[in-house]
Structures are given as C-alpha cells and as structure tokens.
Structure 1
Amino acid sequence: MRLSELKTGESATIVKVTGHGGFRRRIMEMGFVRGQRVEVILNAPLKDPIEYKIMGYDISLRRSEADMVVVLSDAEAGEYLAAQRGRGEASGCVRKCGEGTTPCDCSGRGGKPCATVDEVVARSSRTISVALVGNPNSGKTSLFNAVSGGHEHVGNYGGVTVGAKIGYRNYRGYRFEVTDLPGTYALTAYTPEERYVRSHIAEKTPDVVINTVVASNLERNLYLTTELIDINPRMVVALNMYDELERSGAKLDYDSLGRMLGVPMVPVEARNNRGIEALLDTVIDVFENRDDRVRHIHINMGPVIEEGLRRLNGDMSDHREELPKAFPPRYYAMKLLEGDRQAEEMLHGCARYGEWIEIRDRETRHIAEALGEDIETAFADQKYGFIQGALRETYIPGQREQAKATALIDAFVTHKLWGFPIFFALMWLMFWCTFSLGAYPQDWLDALVGWIGDGVNSLLPEGPLRDMLSDGVIGGVGAVIVFLPQIMILYLFISFLEDSGYLARAAFIMDRVMHRIGLHGKSFIPMIMGFGCNVPAIMACRTIESRSSRLITILITPFMSCSARLPIYILLTGTFFSAHAGLVMTGLYVLGILVAVVTARLMRRFFYPEDETPFVMELPPYRMPTWKTTLLHMWDKCAQYLRKMGGMILIASIVVWFLSYYPRERTDDAAVTNYENSYLGRIGQACEPVFTPLGLNWKAGVALISGISAKEIVVSTLGVLYAEETPAAAGDGPEGTADATRRIASGEVSQTAVHKTIIGGADGETAIRVAYVPEEEADEERTLGRKLLASGDFSEAAVLGFLTFILLYIPCIATVVAIGSEAGWRWAAASVIYDTAVAWLMAWAVYHIASLFA
C-alpha cells in the first residue's frame, strides 16, 4: 500500500520510494528508506499535509509526496504472518524481533524460525515492476516474450501492441512484473500511445524502465531514450537485434555510450533469447542502486532554449511543492514550452499556473524569433544533435548489408508497376492455399467428427440425450471445428507477412488508393488485420493519429471478412460452386472492400470533410521471421478459435438444438420432431418475411440471427437444423413410403439406408418424407454440405444472397463492444443499423441479379 493510505495512529515499514530521481533522493535523505518504521501522527484538517514520525523525528509530507512511498502496514504484515502460521511456516511476530515490550516468540513450528517484519519487507521489496518502452518495430514485444514467457504477438509494423500486456518472471530471488507498453516514437501528447505510455510512467511509477532500442538504427531509436532521460526514471537500455549490428560490420562502444547518457546498455537478441539474463542482472543492479553507470544528465538544448528553460524551470523549482511528483520540474518546463496539452492539464490546478503560462508564452516568442523556427522543431533538432554527437564518439558504421537487401526488395514490391500485381498475387496465393491445401485435413477432421457421431449413436439408446450429443454437440461444434485447418493456414500467411515487414510495404503502396477514399496508408493495416479478426483490427486503429481517419477506419473494418466467416464461405462455396469456389470467395472479399470504400467516401463527404494529418509510417528492414514466432502467433489465434468451440459455440449449439428439438409431436408409435413447429421454427417463421425477398427460408433466417453472437455459429446452427436431412431422392406421403417399403422388400436398398422425418403438410396435414440412399454411399453422403444441397432449400442465387448478407450484416458482439469502447456507443449503434441495412439491400440486389442468369 501507499504511505498516504495510512490512518492517524497507524504504523508501517517502508518498502521503497518511487518517483523521479531528484524527488526520490530528497525523500530518502529525510529517512524514508527501506526497512524504516514510520507512524502517522496526525492529518491536517483538510487531509493535507500529513505529519509522520520516522527515526525519532516528526516530518510533514504532502499527500502527493506520501503517495510515492510504498509501505507494508502492520495489518498487512499480520495477515501475511497469519497465513504462514496456517501453513506451519511461522509462529508469528508482527513487530521486529526484540522491538517493544512484548517478547517475540521465534521458536517457530516444526523447528522453523518465524518470519519477522524485516523478512516480510525484504520479500515485498524484491518485487520489481518493469515497464517496456520502445519504438514500433524495436522488438519490444519479442523482448516481453523472452523475459516473461508471454504469448503476445510480434508484428513487424507500427502499432502491434495497442494495449499494455503484463507478464511475470522469477529470477535470482526477485519477482519481475513486466508491462509491455504500446510502441511509440516519443512521449508527447500527440497519439493515444504516447499519452498512454506517459500516463503509465506517471501513475504506475515502475521501478525500472527497459527502453528497447534497435541496435542497428540507433539515431532514430535514441530519440525516445532522450525523452525518457528528461523524465529521469531508473532505466536500462536493451540494445535489441544486436546481431544485425554485428553482421553489418558496425562497431559500438555501448558501455561508453551508456555512461554518456547515464543509462546502462545491454546488448540482447530477444528472438533468440540471448542476453536476457544479463539484462535482468542489470535491472536488479539498477533497482538496488548498485550500478555506477546510472546518473541523471540534462540534455543541453542550446543557449537560446536553455535561457528560456532556466527562467521557467527556476520558478517551478521554487514552488516544486505544487508540482505533481511523477516528473522533475525541468521536464514540466520543457513540456510547457512545447505547448504539450497533457502537461498543461496536469499543471492546471497549481496555484502559479497562470504565472507559468505567462513566462512560457514570453519565452516561446523569444525562442521562435531568435531561432527562426517553432519550439518543437528546435527541441527535436537539439536532441538529434546530441544523439549524433554521442554516436560520433562511440559508433563506427558498417556496410549496412541489410539496408542494401531491403532497398533491393523494395525496388520490386513497392514499384509503381509491379507493386500492385505482387500484392494481389500474394493475396490470391493466400486464399488459394487456404481453400485448396486446407481441404485435405478438413476431410480428415470431417471423417473424425462423423466417426465420433457414429460412436455416440451406437453406444447410447435412442432418446433426447443421444440426439443432443449427436445432433447438437457433435453436429453443431463439429460442423465448425472441421474448418480449423483453413483457419491455421490463413493465420500462418498473415503472421508471416506481418513479421517479415511486408505489410508495412502494403500500407505504403496502398497510400495513394487510401487517400482517394479519404484515408491514408496507415488505415490499410487494420483493414488487412480484419481478415484475421475484426476485434484486434479495430484496436489497432489507435495508431492512426487523425481522429476522423481513426473513426472511419474503425467503422469500415467490420466489412473485412474475418476468419469467423471463413467456415461459412468454405461450406457454401464448396457445396454450391465447387468448380469456382476460389473465385466466389475472392469476389466476397472484394465486395467487402468495395462496400468499405464507399462507406469511407460517404463518411468523409458528409461527416468529416477534412483530414490534414499527413501519412507518416516507418518502413522497417525486412527480416526473416523465426518459425517459432510465426507458429506461436498462428497457434495463439487458433487456440482462441478452439476456445470458442468449447464455450460460446458449444452453448449456442445446444441452445439451437433444444429450440429446434422441442416441442415434440406424437405419432402412433413415437414422439418425433417437427422442425417447422419447434420453438426455433416459430422464431424463424416470424422473421421469414424479412428474408423471403432474399430467397431464404426460415432456417437460413434462424442461422443468421444466431450468428450475431459469433459468425461461426451460423455453420453450427445449420448443422443442427439439417442434422436430420437426408441427401438423396425422397418420396412424400403414402406413395413415397410404399415405394421405399417395396424397394426394401426387394433388397434394392437396405433398411439402414432409409430415413423418415415428419414435415408439415398443406392445410395442417402431416406428410411423411421417406428417403433412401445406397448403403455404400451412406457415409459419404452425410456431410453438412451434401445435406444442404439435397434439401432443395437453397438455389445458387439464394446462396449468393446469403453469403452477401453474412459478409456485410451486423458484426459479432465482440466487435460491437470493441467499436463501442474505441469510438463510443453512439457509433457502435450506428454501425449495427447501417451494416444490417446495407447487408439486406446488397443481398437483395445480388439475389435478383443472379436469378436472371440462373
């Protein structure tokens, strides 16, 4: 807990002091060091300041200062020791041994001495909170995986990590709590990532910041390092991808460079787990204040800027008690001069805020007049000049072989003539492999699901339980799980393209196209990610600086065909358009893109006519992804897919089965299911007028409604609804039954090949459908696709309309929630209404146009 949380009369033991270096040193000089006892004497009437007793002295601290001190209260220590006694590890003492009048029983239990408060404090103080901060493409998330064993995806383009991920590691008696923060180029308040990272450092006050830097691109990456130096946290620089620097023939005296910057530097290769232990050892030394390379430096901004800084910083330092304690006064002075809005918000409540703004405005005008450029440009120039000077002393460039290879590849993939053909060829290859190569393992899984269903039917007696397991669970979940191979292939391709750096080039070559629809190239990456899953794609829109472009991209991303729709596409195109399945699937993807383009143009025209934000995006060097990284990403996504199978889709399949199974109807010899009069049938018939103009019956309508929760459930719903369909010619009524009986008696077909269902007849009558199929074809003919084909419910035109509606209508619940959290619930509701309306109109048009050619 924090010292500010203690109440009057309570005592605690100090664990550690957080905050920036200057504040931390001042507080520690007052006696607030690890292991010291502190007691709350009294609170001021307005709860600020607070008087404490420490080391025999009474000291007054403001609540904001006390909030930066982590303590272990006596109550917390007592709870910890009580828990130990419960495990037979300690007899317990809350005071330090020998302290006070009450003797301390250190006999323990089972011969073990008790844990004292000192030991509890020592254990608590050996937890190190670490924040990973770095540029996009710096390998920060790879380092997170290497340090914590986490499974966060590594992508070779800006903005993969759009939220903080937390991992843990125990090492040399310390517990590391590692937070992977979003990739950012600076700590201004320009993008959501920059604001998030700076807020995390200010509010969470990590013990150590690991700044991930690309060793082969120091000049660009060290700019963020200088921003962190201004904040003055305890920091270690991880020189990632150090092998690339060595292969280029470059030489870096990283120890001397680190001493210049006052920050220890450690070479690492996160992808190969090299240098990780050395990095963690350095973090421990910095945390324990044992590293002599650590010192705080002020990066000189030049005489003109320094003069303005001196005046503003001097006044702030004289009234430092008013400042938030997260950062030093010089940092606030720099940010005020830069016109940083977030800094202004943090300081707005200070009593001298008005005077500081007056000084800022005066000095800003003076700096701009003296230098002939705006203050932000002047700051950036000075920092890059500092970096260049430091590298001139410590860095010898190599041959830059990787840069040459990157330039050679870019000459083809970003060429004005060859760039687009290469891109579309890669997309076609991805979909062709997904459909063609995935068909073989899909057949194997389909056979396995059929074998399991047969086993359940043979082991269990006839009844609702067997029907639920066979038709509901196995029929519903099995109908979706058979598409796992295609999902794996799709994610394998996307992961490889991301990790290699090609997707950044795709955004580059699409920039001009995106501009024509009112966006820019950076919007292209979330759209491509949407082919995998719309949820992370929408979250990835945070990297787009322009609010209007970010909002438009969020709203058009659901039109990208996510992998959840893929099972539906594969089922229906493979069944009804087997000779042209790949072409139909490609057409669906293209249609989704076209609708997204039209939507973006409409929004840009009627809602946000201007977007002045330029397209700025780093093109990282090409890297050959490791199989471990690529396969790990693929498996993470597939594991999510499998978890859906055991969760939402399983439950939905059982619910759909129940609603379609009941109520049962009585015949002369047994209770049977009449799907049309079941609960689900009634729901479908109520909605049927909406879907009839699209050439769809009530079963298709039910499948579409169930797909609102998750698109894969469309397939499982069809699997349940058509579980009893027989893929063969059928006779209706007594004639059909008599014909089937005759053919059984003559031996023409076996009795096991005959299937009977009850269907609704005209004028309320009941008709009996009897279907027969040669026994040797029975197993082959039981797939869901063949059942759909044989049912006669779908014409080719209706299937095209059905696919179009699935492509465009309301996104899944998870996507709607993502839109609401990123853009606001008003826009989420608008997306639901607009997408569904567009889906109906487009499906109607496709159905009627296709009917003309049927």
Structure 2
Amino acid sequence: MTVAFIGNPNCGKTTLFNAYTGANLKVANWPGVTVEKVEGAIDSHGVHIHLVDLPGTYSLTSYTMEEQVSRNFILSDDVDVIIDVVDASALERNLYLTLQLLELGRPVVVALNMMDIVEKRGMEIDLHRLPEMLGVPVVPVSALKRRGLSVLLHAAIHHKDRTHPDQLIHDHPEITHHKHNHHHDFAMVYSDVLEDKIDQLRVLLQAQYPDLQNYRWHALKLLEMDQEITAKYPLQGIEAVVDRSYETDIINEKYAFIEEIIQEVVVNREERVAATDYADRLLTNRWLGIPIFLAVMAVVFFLTFFIGDMLRDYFESAIDSFSALATSGLTAVGAGEMLISLICDGIIAGVGGILTFLPNICILFLTLAVLEDSGYMSRVAYIMNDVMNRLGLSGRAFIPMILGFGCSVPAIMASRALENKTDRYRTMLVTPFMSCSARLPIYILFSGMFFPENAMIVAYSMYLIGIVVALVCLLVLHLFQRQETENILLIELPEYKQPSLRTVWISVWNKVKDYLNRAGTIIFAASILMWFILNFGPSGYGAMNDSFGAMLGKILVPFFAPLGLGYWQISLSLLAGISAKEVVVSSFAVLFDGVNINSAAALATLAASMGQMGFTQLNAYCMMLFSLLYVPCAATIATIHTESHSWKWTAFSVVFQISVAWVITCAVYQIGSRLF
C-alpha cells in the first residue's frame, strides 16, 4: 500500500518520515515537474508500505509548484491512505488543511505530532473528542522521541478502505433544526446558503460528469472559482449558482468550525510557554535581527575553522602517510616514474587534498542543519523581509540564498517556492553568489597560506561579500525591471525546539555522502585529466612548462592578469573549477609539481616561492574573491537550465556571473595594488 505524508511546513512531517525510513531514502523529481519527491519503503504489520513525503503545504489551493504537486498526488489513484501530520502545539492553524483533506473522501489518518510541546505548555488535548468531531482516527505521536509510530501505521493499514467518516458526534446547541442534516455524513458542514449551492452544483456535475468521484469536493472548488477545476470541468448553467467567488466564505466557515473544535478539545489553552516569544523579541528585532544573524554565521565559521582544523590535522597526517607508503610501495615493486607520478602526484595529491577538508565541511553542514531544525532559519527570511522588499522581492526569496551556503544545486531548486516567475529567475541569477561549501576548501587553503593569523576572518569575509554582491545585483535588476506587484511575506515562525539528532544526522550524512561521491568521481577524474595535460605536450611526456596545460593556461593569462591572477597555473585551476569548485584545490596540488597541500611546512614553502613570483596577500584575496563570484559548477549550471527551461537564460546567467566576478575582482586588485 502507498501512504502519503502531508502537512504544514515545520509540522515535523519530515522528522516523522525519517523516523520510519532512516537514511534509506530515494530522492527524485516528480514526472514532468522539477519538484523533489522523497520516497521510502518499510515492512510493518505484515504489509509492504511505500511511503511518500509530500512538500509542505498550508492548503490544497495550489499557488506554488510544491502545492500543485501535493494536491495532484493526493487526488491521484496512487494513494491508499493519507497521513495528515498535525502540529499539536499549533492545532488551530493545522486543522485547516485537515478539513480540506477530509472533504476529498479518501482514507485519512491524523498524526498528532509534537505532543511533548503541548505538555510543556501545560495544555491538554481531548483525544476522545477530537476523533468524534473529525470522524477519522487521531493518533498522538512524537517524531522526535519516536513514540506512537507503530500505532500510527497500524491505524493507517486498518483504515485504508474507509472512505466515509467514522461516527460523527457534533454538538450545536444554538441550532434546533438544520435543513440539510449533513452532520452525520461530513465533518465540515457549511451554512444553509453554501450547502444549497453545493447541492445544486452536485446535481449539475452528476448530469454532465457521471463518472466523477467526490462531487462535494469538486462543487466546493467550483464555488471557490478554482482555476484548475473550473477549466477541467466546465458546467452549463453554473452562472445561476456561482455568481461570485465564495472562497472567503468557505475559509471563514472552516475557521469558525475549527474554533469550535479548539474550544471543545483543548484544555488550558491559555497556558503557553513564553520562551519562543521572548526569544523572537530579540532574534527578530527590527534593528538587532540582522546583526544577530551575522553573529550567528560568525560563530558557525568559528566552529568550522577551530574544530575543523583540529580534526584536519589527523586527516593530513593519515593522507601524508598514505602517500609516502604508496610511493615506497610502488618503488619497491619497480613501477615506472610515470606511473608513480600519476598515482602519487596526480590522484593522491588531488583527491587526498580535498579529503583533508572533510572535517571542516562536516562541521559546516552540522551547524547549518542544527540551525534549520531548531526553527531559526525561517526567522532569517522574516528579518530580511524589509531588505528584500526594497529589492522587489519578499523575504521568502532569501531562503534559497541561505541554502546556497550548503550547496547551490538545492538552493536553485528552492526558488520554485516563489510564486512569481520573474522573482524565481532573479533569485536563481544571484543565488550562486552565495558561498557554497565546495568553495570552502579554496578559502581554507589560501587564507591558511597567506593569512595564517587571520584565516577565519578572511574566509568569513567571503561569505559576507557574497551576500552583499547578491543584494546589490538584485537592487540593480529591480531598478531596471520595476514591478508594481506587492510582495507580501506569509511565513510560519515555528516553535523553537531541540533539534532532532536523527534528522540532523540524516541531513549531514546525505551531504557528506555527496561530497565523498564527488571526491571519488568528478575530482578523481579531474585530477587524472589535470595530471595528463600537465605532463604531456607536443613532444610527449616531459616538463610541465611545455605541457598542453601550460599552453592552455598561458592563453588565459591575459584575461586574468588585470585581476592579479596572471599566472598560467592559477588560470588553469580556475578553468578546471567549473567542473566542481573543489577541483580548484585538487588542481592546485597537481599544478605546483604535486605539492603536498596536506603539509603545513610544504604550504609555507609554497607560499614563500609564490611570493617570490609576485603572488602576495592581495593576489591571494583576489583568488578567493574570483572563486566566490565566477561561474558556478557544472551541476549548478545544469540545474539553472532545468529550472528555467531555457538555454538562453542559462547562458545569460553564466555570462552575468563571470562579468560580475571579473569587474569586482579587477576593481579590488587595481585599487588595492595602488593603496598597498
């Protein structure tokens, strides 16, 4: 059987889904739509269950691509049971989606999540009365503490054939007679005016579409003038019934019923924990919010460098020993000089150099995952809303940019949550300026070599510059493409909570696994390719200065010279970095005669020799700056094309990013060389 998990954003749905599936997930795109779906499979109670985690949505009224996907999948015949994950601590808001799901006429089980927060607030929920009012099973669970999981699946299995509600017990003391008497059939019953119109539309639908399922739900959508349903099921004579949109009326009556539910099932409703409200007075303060966000990110990078560097020493020693062992072993078996150079100076120097930065990458992923799961990241969109409004966007557009600190690919994909196409395109254009984790090894390498006393501050400045450049570009675009549409931010600020260790672990592990996969594929192949083009030239195997790589790098030198990067080795490494930004570092290890970038002493010697070439701290800073801003990796370029469905826009994005990188880096170098 197939079970679909649906719920509001931040209701704990993904944590619950992960509690069932662990890291055994399958991630892909919905057919024909660039929206990610997450699937898993488990065996429970003797049944093989296919689980689908749908994108978070507040309602079944589709505005964004995620909402459309959730609605279409729920309406399809692929779903046997819908598990509606409800945040018990925000019952009033979550029940709106619940009532919409109940009107679909499909098997629904309510998972009442975050009961631990309800208990902390001193509240209680009547778990006998709530199922009576909704007509479906309500199972209390705690995804964080993994409670009630087996009971929830047991209820789903035994409820999969129930398309009609269980016994409904409503109490309406103010109504002595109800014209339609639908309280035995539906959880949500509307006023006589709306019920009259629903009945009239049902008659019309039955006459014109005799094979249609759930006439009541379709009638409600026609009353709301839902564009998709209205276009798909045109009705003759509908004008006599639907003289205007009744969406507001339906929403108001739903919330009136929700208020009735709350009054009957929630005890001690007035008891609340003020910790979240108190924290938000500080963290979302108009004047303090942004400085606090910058301070939080500074702490993130302090941990990334301080703890990561301590662990990196062990990785460096291990890879250094492995390289020496490989060299002696190959020499002992009589391997040729070329083979030894390929393996040690090419593969081990390239791939091993990237693996030494794994501790720093892990710390970065870990801190970002903790911030996201704690509920803080949605506050960032809120505090940036005023700034983004001045740039013609809502604060929601800042969410993809924040995700860009991890990886540009999912960050670009996150722009699909924006309703306006122009907003999506503008956000995709500037998101690559946010410093992804793949650039971190570049910062660590060059800041450690040329700014050993202030490496963390120099690297942190790259992240700040990325944000500033993105915002300035958005401002320029806004001045040239002024829109009259109002950008309103509607976003939930969830309860602050202790991050789930399981959720954080799965998030970090998936990202680390992707990093290792890139090291074993793209970077491995790039290191071998780089070794070949640097050791072979028109005359065959020989000196690096006469190689094909040197020839190509020297062709690029005039382009990079005004930026302070007029060295053929630097030019070639930046070109190779288009495949993956980590390749800049792995190429660097191969380009400079297989230098051991895992050794602090070797790096100090290399920095001194580069200094004699004229490569100073200013040049190193410009190297990091250009690496931050120039064209993103090939995977990001492919994602931009997938999301925009336009090669023209993709080409424009690449040219735009290279141009911005060249102009800014050139300005920094030319001004800096005159001042210092």
TM-score relative to the length of structure 2:
0.90
Question: Partners in 2 of 1:822 and 1:213 — Cα distance?
Answer: 31
Tell whether 2:663 aligns with 1:841: yes
Tell whether 2:39 aligns with 1:166: yes
1:239 corresponding residue in structure 2? 112
Task: Pick one of 577, 590, 593 that aligns with 2:467.
Answer: 593
Tell whether 2:189 aligns with 1:189: no
Question: Partners in 1 of 2:605 and 2:398 — Cα distance?
Answer: 38
Give the secondary structure class of the aligned counterpart of 2:453: helix
Question: Partners in 1 of 2:481 and 2:505 — Cα distance?
Answer: 42
Task: Pick one of 708, 713, 718 that aligns with 2:578.
Answer: 708
1:471 corresponding residue in structure 2? 345
Task: Pick one of 624, 631, 643 that aligns with 1:822.
Answer: 643
Question: Partners in 2 of 1:609 and 1:417 — Cα distance?
Answer: 27
| Contact 2:35/2:65 (<8 A) preserved | no
Task: Pick one of 357, 377, 390 that aligns with 1:483.
Answer: 357
Give the secondary structure class of the aligned counterpart of 1:131: strand
- Which digits, 9 at most, give the CA deviation of each residue in 1:237-257, with x for residues without a partner? 110112222332322222332
| Contact 2:394/2:489 (<8 A) preserved | yes
Give the secondary structure class of the aligned counterpart of 1:579: coil
Per the TM alignment, residue 608 of structure 1 is displaced from its structure 2 partner at its CA by 5.0
1:737 corresponding residue in structure 2? none
1:524-603 aligned at under 5 Å gives the runs 524-603=398-477
- Which digits, 9 at most, give the CA deviation of each residue in 1:44-74, with x for residues without a partner? xxxxxxxxxxxxxxxxxxxxxxxxxxxxxxx
Question: Partners in 2 of 1:289 and 1:308 — Cα distance?
Answer: 27
1:735-814 aligned at under 5 Å gives the runs 781-783=601-603, 786-791=605-610, 792-793=612-613, 794-814=615-635
Question: Partners in 2 of 1:189 and 1:644 — Cα distance?
Answer: 36
Q: Which shifted more, 486-495 or 605-614?
A: 605-614
Q: Cα gap change, 1:290/1:517 in structure 2, threshold over 3 Å: closer, same or farther?
A: closer
Q: Cα gap change, 1:572/1:142 in structure 2, threshold over 3 Å: closer, same or farther?
A: same
- Which digits, 9 at most, give the CA deviation of each residue in 1:687-745, with x for residues without a partner? 22222222221111111111111100000001111134699xxxxxxxxxxxxxxxxxx
| Contact 1:285/1:291 (<8 A) preserved | no
Q: Cα gap change, 1:725/1:252 in structure 2, threshold over 3 Å: closer, same or farther?
A: closer
**Residue identity matched to 1:315:** L
2:172 corresponding residue in structure 1? none
Q: Cα gap change, 1:314/1:786 in structure 2, threshold over 3 Å: closer, same or farther?
A: farther
Give the secondary structure class of the aligned counterpart of 2:36: coil
Give the secondary structure class of the aligned counterpart of 2:210: helix
Per the TM alignment, residue 426 of structure 1 is displaced from its structure 2 partner at its CA by 1.0
Tell whether 2:550 aligns with 1:677: no
Give the secondary structure class of the aligned counterpart of 1:381: helix
| Contact 1:558/1:811 (<8 A) preserved | yes
Question: Partners in 2 of 1:633 and 1:726 — Cα distance?
Answer: 32
Tell whether 2:671 aligns with 1:852: no
| Contact 1:184/1:193 (<8 A) preserved | yes
**Residue identity matched to 1:341:** Q
**Residue identity matched to 1:499:** D
Per the TM alignment, residue 276 of structure 1 is displaced from its structure 2 partner at its CA by 0.5
| Contact 1:214/1:241 (<8 A) preserved | yes
Q: Count matched residues.
A: 645
1:744 corresponding residue in structure 2? none
| Contact 1:144/1:150 (<8 A) preserved | no
1:119 corresponding residue in structure 2? none
Question: Partners in 2 of 1:390 and 1:611 — Cα distance?
Answer: 37
Q: Give the superposed CA RMSD.
A: 2.4
**Residue identity matched to 1:847:** Y
1:412 corresponding residue in structure 2? 282
1:48 corresponding residue in structure 2? none
| Contact 1:665/1:674 (<8 A) preserved | no
- Which digits, 9 at most, give the CA deviation of each residue in 1:728-778, with x for residues without a partner? xxxxxxxxxxxxxxxxxxxxxxxxxxxxxxxxxxxxxxxxxxxxxxxxxx9
Per the TM alignment, residue 192 of structure 1 is displaced from its structure 2 partner at its CA by 1.6
| Contact 2:349/2:596 (<8 A) preserved | no
**Residue identity matched to 2:592:** Y
Give the secondary structure class of the aligned counterpart of 2:41: strand
Task: Pick one of 304, 312, 318 that aligns with 1:442.
Answer: 312
Per the TM alignment, residue 288 of structure 1 is displaced from its structure 2 partner at its CA by 5.0
| Contact 2:300/2:367 (<8 A) preserved | yes
1:315 corresponding residue in structure 2? 204
Give the secondary structure class of the aligned counterpart of 1:168: strand
Per the TM alignment, residue 284 of structure 1 is displaced from its structure 2 partner at its CA by 1.0
**Residue identity matched to 1:384:** Y
Tell whether 2:388 aligns with 1:505: no
Q: Which shifted more, 673-682 or 249-258?
A: 249-258
Give the secondary structure class of the aligned counterpart of 1:271: coil
Give the secondary structure class of the aligned counterpart of 1:270: coil
- Which digits, 9 at most, give the CA deviation of each residue in 1:608-631, with x for residues without a partner? 523323111111111011333323
**Residue identity matched to 2:451:** F
1:635-654 aligned at under 5 Å gives the runs 635-654=509-528
Gaps of 5+ in 1: 1-127, 154-160, 348-352, 369-373, 667-671, 728-777
Q: Cα gap change, 1:673/1:695 in structure 2, threshold over 3 Å: closer, same or farther?
A: farther
**Residue identity matched to 1:569:** Y
- Percent sequence identity is 38
TM-score relative to the length of structure 1:
0.72
Deviating above 4 A after TM superposition, structure 1's stretches of 4 or more consecutive aligned residues are 288-292, 724-727
| Contact 1:209/1:234 (<8 A) preserved | yes
1:18-417 aligned at under 5 Å gives the runs 128-150=1-23, 163-287=36-160, 289=162, 293=166, 297=186, 299-321=188-210, 323=212, 327-347=213-233, 353-355=234-236, 358-359=237-238, 361-365=239-243, 375-398=246-269, 400-402=271-273, 404-417=274-287
**Residue identity matched to 1:525:** I
Question: Partners in 2 of 1:227 and 1:291 — Cα distance?
Answer: 14
1:9 corresponding residue in structure 2? none
Higher relative contact order (CA 8 A, sep 6+): 2
Q: Which shifted more, 829-838 or 687-696?
A: 687-696
**Residue identity matched to 2:606:** K
| Contact 2:349/2:586 (<8 A) preserved | yes
**Residue identity matched to 1:129:** T
Question: Partners in 2 of 1:211 and 1:184 — Cα distance?
Answer: 11
Question: Partners in 1 of 2:107 and 2:608 — Cα distance?
Answer: 67
